[in-house]
Amino acid sequence: MKVLVPVKRVVDANVKVRVKGDGSGVELANVKMAMNPFDEIAVEEAIRLKDAGKVEEIIVVSIGPAQAQETLRTALAMGADRAILVKTDETAEPLGVAKVLKGVVDAEKPGLVILGKQAIDDDANQTGQMLAALLGWAQGTFASKVEINGDKAKVTREVDGGLQTIDLKMPAIVTVDLRLNQPRYASLPNIMKAKKKPLDEKSAADFGADLKPRLKVVKTEEPGGRKAGVKVKDVAELVSSLKSAGVI
């Protein structure tokens, strides 16, 4: 079985994000970029499935600017086998991305697509679900455990109030949550090998899709600063102030 793992290049989680002067978005010039942390977890899960003999080939795909090649190389250095860069200078929006991914799935015929549950840039949390709808495949979102048995995937999902376990008929879509695994370091020997792994450059049109923006960004602004809190001397005062604040 082939597994497809989409990976996104986003602002590094440790960077303090700043809004651009004109409010059109966040500042990306000279900012450290990295693989979306949820996508690292997705790549790691694919590698573990391969190590367990459930998967033969791991294909990583990124939709983004030329520099997204760096993100793909990181995935190859972690252990993916082959990469596809769908190059675009448009902002990648969930539906456009899902349409391109559908094209990639039609071309590559993976038995499983593992995605991050969301990208930490706009936190949309939509791509996996949209892809499942476009393909008409089963989906297991927010996975904290994945087991593959023949043509079934058993996925433990982190849902409000606890865990839910579902069986999916393959082929299927899985989106991963934070606690699924701890991604490995790209090891030095694998970094050296990654250079020789294939990385194909394609366009959205090659997959019969387009990435024209479907959304319009009206304005981007910083969240308001936190107001200073108050100190309470005991539980009774805490409860009464929560009541008067209308919280309880």
Residues forming contacts to another protein in the complex (CB under 8 A) are 34, 69-70, 73-74, 77, 184-192, 194-195
* 74 or 156: CB nearest another protein: 74
Compute the least distance from the CB of residue 82 to another protein, in Å.
16
* 70 or 106: CB nearest another protein: 70
Compute the least distance from the CB of residue 100 to another protein, in Å.
24
Compute the least distance from the CB of residue 12 to another protein, in Å.
10
Contacts of 130 (CB under 8 A, 6+ apart): 94, 95, 98
Compute the least distance from the CB of residue 69 to another protein, in Å.
8
The C-alpha atoms of residue 190 and residue 193 are separated, in whole angstroms, by 5
* 37-51 vs 68-78: helix crossing angle, rounded to 10: 30
Compute the least distance from the CB of residue 133 to another protein, in Å.
35
* 192 or 239: CB nearest another protein: 192
E strands present in 150-233: 152-159, 162-169, 172-176, 199-202
* 94-108 vs 127-135: helix crossing angle, rounded to 10: 50
* 26 or 191: CB nearest another protein: 191
* 26 or 124: CB nearest another protein: 26
Cα distances from 159 to residues 46, 129, 174, in angstroms, run 22, 15, 14
What do you get for the CA distance between the two ends of the chain, in Å? Answer: 52
Query: How many residues does the structure list for the chain?
Result: 248
